[in-house]
């Protein structure tokens, strides 16, 4: 079984976001991590590989700055890595890069996170699938594979659905699919010598661009209500905020 | 030039997010001086289909296909792609729901249309087409410009007010030929969420955290939710410990919500929690610690013990509801 797991490099969840001249993230003091949902996907791929055999390749579209996190993915257990040396500015561009590599190398399962926690687009998985004309199961909370068939559980509006699909397919991972692991010492040592191939991008268009950023408007000061006068809160919510 | 909107239904009924998407699409059409066509897939009553006119759709393309009972994103994409071509759509609007998240990226590739997912308002400019969305899980906002010929927007539920007042829409049958080979996903089981109100759709949400001490104390949280007609949510540790089901977990690693009212009880307000709820229109925090970070993000706050405040709140809400019935 050949897995391809796509990982993106995002600010740590505790980051206090600041923008430089509203043109982009101010990277000062920001620590970058593997996107948490991608790590869930990676861990599940490794679990299946360990049980059934196969290989797990991680793929990142982005600059060399992400290499420490690519090495981390190798330390967690991926067999090899590919980095497409291009700025990942637009989901369509990124999906074209991944689909191109996937077509050349032929994977059985392509996994991404349900969304990246920087742009929150939830676009790449579906785009890869459409570019390759294969199914995509998005926001999947479970993944099991037997032979050439996979059974997944996914979030749908109003609940969850269990579906089956034949290989190859794309899925985007949601919390629940696995519990991420911390790399051990041996993993960290072997990661240094695992192959990390850097390739140049194929030609693809960017069809969207983030042109400006700002912080959400600051909240007004919080109105405090005495715990001895709870009905005042209900009054305020009804008459002032008009939400109940 | 024209605007196409996917009018999603759940078991044959439109949802509030559907009316929001249709209203949003119709407003873009109005600004562009063109018409808005809605696509309905599956068995919805004729009356409801015509009724989309109320929200601004002038035409409804109705697709009935017995095989389309579950979410088969590839087939939905095929249908919507054909519909977009048939009406010459230059703008496509879809809800940013789970269904929308499955379909929008595929359709974006099919139409080679730049997609802004999770839009929170009308375009700030039609040329260049620019739409605002949240980024960094709600910690920032960004303006996205689409440069392709066709533009796509997936609009976040509860972020655009429905417009009403339009006349009935004209319903037309639309039946693109879908080869059997395109059905690739087999539905084995649907597990409906037992909660009365789906969290992602809820206008009012009552949420509680580790301050509740244990699952046995959730009775008062549920009573408050019931009195208000609200959905229930929780913080991550509460779901991790199994006190509450995972689908209630909100925050950076859970679901992101933007209800009109979010009441946080015994939740400290960690940055990862706030990321998922900061776009709530009004936030109420009830916490025994006056230094709890959540108060900085709140509109109304009570420093007090949840175990005495919440039961009083339930009574006060019941009284208000009784007075207005
Ligand atoms: C990568 C990562 C992702 C994360 N993602 C999420 C996420 O998506 N969602 C999320 O919620 N968290 C997330 N977290 C965890 C987050 O950092 C916090 O640990 C968590 O939100 C705390 O939950 P809590 O507020 O319920 O508990 P606590 O922080 O323990 O807070 C309990 C609060 O209850 C108050 N309290 C105690 N007793 C009472 C009482 N009797 N009456 C009233 N108040 C009382 C206390 O003063 C305290 O403020 C994430 C963490 C990491 C590292």
With an 8 Å Cβ cutoff, is A127 touching chain B?
A: yes
Q: Are residues B175 and B219 in the same domain?
A: no
Best probe of the B interface among A140, A230, A235, A242, by most B CBs < 10 A, is A230
CATH number, position A69: 3.40.50.620
Interface subset of A 87-106, CB within 8 angstroms of B? 90-92, 95
Interface subset of A 1-20, CB within 8 angstroms of B? 11, 13-17, 19
Q: What angle do CA B190, B11, B42 make, to 5 degrees?
A: 110
Q: Are residues B55 and B121 in the same domain?
A: yes
Question: How far apart, in whole angstroms, are the C-alpha atoms of residue A130 and residue B112?
Answer: 11
Q: Are residues B77 and B223 in the same domain?
A: no
Q: Is residue A80 part of a domain?
A: yes
C-alpha B310 – ligand 1 centre gap (Å): 18
With an 8 Å Cβ cutoff, is A218 touching chain B?
A: no
Q: Which helix (H) or strand (E) holds A187?
A: helix A185-191
Question: How far apart, in whole angstroms, are the C-alpha atoms of residue B283 and residue A221?
Answer: 12
Q: Which of B121, B152, B182 is the last residue of a domain?
A: B182
Q: Is residue A96 part of a domain?
A: yes
Q: What pLDDT sits at residue A78?
A: 98
Domain of B137 in residue numbering reads as 2-182
Pocket test for ligand 1, best of B206, B234, B237, B246 (most atoms within 8 A of CB): B237
Which of A127, A134, A205 has the CB atom closest to B105's CB atom? A127
B171 to each of B7, B10, B52, B62, B80, how far by Cα in Å?
Answer: 13, 19, 10, 7, 16
Q: Please indicate whether residue B303, judged by its CB atom, sits closer than 6 Å to ligand 1.
A: no
Question: What are the E-state strand segments in A90-148?
Answer: 109-113, 136-146
Inspect the interface and report whether the beta carbons of A158 and B192 lie closer than 8 Å: yes
Inspect the interface and report whether the beta carbons of A230 and B10 lie closer than 8 Å: no
Task: Please report residues of B whose CB lies closer than 8 A to that of A212.
Answer: 142-143
Judge contact between A57 and A4, C-beta under 8 A: yes
Q: Is residue A17 part of a domain?
A: yes
Give the distance from CA B162 to its chain's centroid.
Answer: 13
Q: Which of B151, B182, B213 is the last residue of a domain?
A: B182
Inspect the interface and report whether the beta carbons of A212 and B142 lie closer than 8 Å: yes
CATH number, position B256: 3.40.50.1220
A and B: number of Cβ contacts within 8 A? 272
Q: What pLDDT sits at residue B196?
A: 65
Which is the closest atom of ligand 1 to the Cα of B210?
26
Question: How far apart, in whole angstroms, are the C-alpha atoms of residue B253 and residue B240?
Answer: 12
Q: What pLDDT sits at residue B195?
A: 62
Q: Is residue B198 part of a domain?
A: no
Q: What pLDDT sits at residue A220?
A: 85
Pocket test for ligand 1, best of A11, A12, A13 (most atoms within 8 A of CB): A13
Question: How far apart, in whole angstroms, are the C-alpha atoms of residue A170 and residue A111?
Answer: 6
Question: How far apart, in whole angstroms, are the C-alpha atoms of residue B297 and residue B102?
Answer: 32
Per-residue burial over B128-146, b = 16 or more CB atoms within 10 Å of its CB, e = otherwise: ebbbbbbbbbbbbbbbbbb
CATH number, position B8: 3.40.50.620
The residue ranges of chain A whose pLDDT is under 70 are: none
Q: What pLDDT sits at residue A219?
A: 81
**ipTM at complex level:** 0.95
pTM (two decimals): 0.92
Q: Are residues B81 and B127 in the same domain?
A: yes
Q: What are residue B47's phi and psi, to 5 degrees?
A: -65, -45
Q: Is residue B63 part of a domain?
A: yes
From first to last of its 325 residues, what are the pLDDT tens digits of chain B? 999 999 999 989 999 999 999 999 999 999 999 999 999 999 999 999 999 999 999 999 999 988 888 899 999 999 999 999 999 999 999 999 999 999 999 999 999 999 999 999 999 999 999 999 999 988 999 999 999 999 999 999 999 999 999 999 999 999 999 999 999 999 999 998 766 677 888 999 999 999 999 999 999 999 999 999 999 999 999 999 999 998 899 998 888 899 999 999 999 999 999 999 998 999 999 999 999 999 999 999 999 999 999 999 999 999 999 998 7
Q: Is residue A244 part of a domain?
A: no
Q: Work out how many domains chain A is built from and give that number.
A: 1
Inspect the interface and report whether the beta carbons of A157 and B298 lie closer than 8 Å: no
Inspect the interface and report whether the beta carbons of B146 and A124 lie closer than 8 Å: no
Q: Is residue B161 part of a domain?
A: yes
Q: Please indicate whether residue B273, judged by its CB atom, sits closer than 6 Å to ligand 1.
A: yes
Q: Work out how many domains chain B is built from and give that number.
A: 2
Q: Are residues B163 and B252 in the same domain?
A: no
How close is the nearest chain B Cα to the Cα of A193, in Å?
Answer: 32
Interface subset of A 42-81, CB within 8 angstroms of B? none
Q: What pLDDT sits at residue B254?
A: 87
Question: What are the E-state strand segments in A37-135?
Answer: 55-61, 80-84, 109-113
Question: How far apart, in whole angstroms, are the C-alpha atoms of residue A92 and residue A170?
Answer: 16
Q: Is residue A243 part of a domain?
A: no
Q: Is residue A55 part of a domain?
A: yes
Q: What pLDDT sits at residue A49?
A: 98
Instruction: Report which DSSP code applies to B167.
Output: P
Q: Is residue A223 part of a domain?
A: no
Q: Please indicate whether residue B238, judged by its CB atom, sits closer than 6 Å to ligand 1.
A: yes
Q: Is residue B122 part of a domain?
A: yes
Q: Is residue B51 part of a domain?
A: yes
For B140, the closest chain A residue by CA position comes to: A215
C-alpha B253 – ligand 1 centre gap (Å): 13
Domain of A57 in residue numbering reads as 2-216
Question: How far apart, in whole angstroms, are the C-alpha atoms of residue B274 and residue B319?
Answer: 31
Q: Is residue A225 part of a domain?
A: no
Q: Is residue B173 part of a domain?
A: yes
Burial (0-12, 13-18, 19+ Cβ within 10 Å), A20? exposed
Q: Are residues B25 and B152 in the same domain?
A: yes
Q: Please indicate whether residue B239, judged by its CB atom, sits closer than 6 Å to ligand 1.
A: no
Q: Are residues B20 and B129 in the same domain?
A: yes
Q: Are residues B138 and B224 in the same domain?
A: no
Which of A162, A207, A238 has the CB atom closest to B114's CB atom? A207
């Amino acid at each position: 079984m050949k897995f391809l797991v796509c990982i993106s490099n995002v600010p740590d969840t505790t980051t206090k976001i600041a923008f430089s001249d509203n043109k982009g993230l101010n990277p000062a003091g920001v620590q970058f991590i593997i996107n948490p949902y991608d790590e869930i996907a990676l861990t599940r791929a490794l679990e299946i590989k360990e049980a059934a055999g196969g290989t797990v390749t991680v793929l990142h579209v982005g600059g060399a700055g992400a290499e420490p996190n690519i090495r981390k993915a190798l330390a967690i257990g991926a067999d090899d890595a590919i980095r497409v040396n291009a700025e990942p500015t637009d989901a369509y561009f990124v999906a074209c890069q991944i689909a191109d590599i996937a077509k050349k190398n032929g994977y059985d399962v392509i996994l991404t996170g349900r969304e990246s926690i920087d742009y929150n687009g939830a676009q790449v998985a579906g785009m890869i699938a459409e570019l390759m004309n294969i199914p995509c199961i998005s926001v999947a909370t479970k993944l099991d594979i037997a032979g050439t068939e996979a059974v997944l559980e996914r979030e749908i509006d109003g609940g969850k659905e269990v579906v089956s699909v034949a290989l190859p397919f794309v899925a985007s991972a949601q919390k629940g699919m696995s519990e991420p692991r911390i790399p051990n010492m041996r993993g960290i040592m072997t990661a240094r010598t695992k192959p990390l191939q850097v390739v140049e991008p194929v030609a693809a268009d960017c069809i969207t661009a983030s042109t400006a950023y700002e912080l959400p408007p600051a909240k007004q000061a919080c109105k405090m209500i005495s715990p001895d006068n709870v009905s005042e809160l209900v009054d305020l919510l009804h008459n002032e905020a008009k939400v109940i | 030039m024209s605007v196409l909107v996917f009018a999603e239904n759940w078991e044959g009924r439109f949802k509030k997010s559907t009316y929001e998407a249709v209203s949003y699409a119709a407003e873009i059409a109005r600004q562009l001086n063109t018409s808005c066509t809605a696509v309905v897939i599956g068995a919805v009553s004729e009356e409801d289909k015509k009724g989309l006119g109320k929200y601004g759709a002038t035409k409804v393309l109705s697709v009935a296909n017995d095989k389309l009972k579950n979410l088969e994103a590839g087939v939905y994409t095929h249908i919507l792609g054909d519909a977009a071509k048939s009406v010459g759509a230059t703008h496509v609007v879809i809800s940013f729901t789970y269904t929308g998240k499955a379909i929008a990226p595929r359709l974006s590739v099919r139409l080679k249309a730049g997609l802004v997912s999770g839009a929170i308002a009308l375009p700030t400019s039609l040329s260049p087409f620019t739409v605002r969305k949240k980024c960094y899980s709600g910690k920032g906002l960004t303006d996205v410009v689409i440069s392709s010929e066709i533009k796509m927007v997936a609009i976040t539920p509860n972020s655009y007010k429905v417009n009403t007042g339009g006349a009935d829409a004209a319903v037309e049958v639309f039946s693109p030929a879908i080869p059997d080979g395109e059905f690739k996903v087999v539905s084995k089981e649907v597990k409906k969420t037992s909660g009365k109100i789906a969290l992602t759709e809820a206008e009012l949400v009552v949420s509680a955290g580790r301050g509740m001490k244990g699952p046995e104390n959730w009775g008062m949280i549920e009573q408050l939710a019931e009195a208000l007609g609200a959905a229930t949510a929780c913080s991550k540790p509460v779901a991790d410990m199994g006190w509450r089901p995972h689908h209630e977990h909100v925050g950076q690693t859970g679901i992101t919500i933007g209800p009109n009212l979010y009441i946080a009880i015994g939740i400290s307000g960690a940055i990862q929690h706030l990321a998922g709820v900061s776009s709530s229109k009004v936030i109420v925090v009830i916490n025994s610690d006056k230094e709890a970070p959540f108060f900085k993000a709140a509109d109304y706050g009570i420093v007090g013990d949840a175990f005495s405040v919440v039961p009083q709140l339930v009574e006060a809400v019941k009284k208000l509801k009784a007075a207005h019935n």
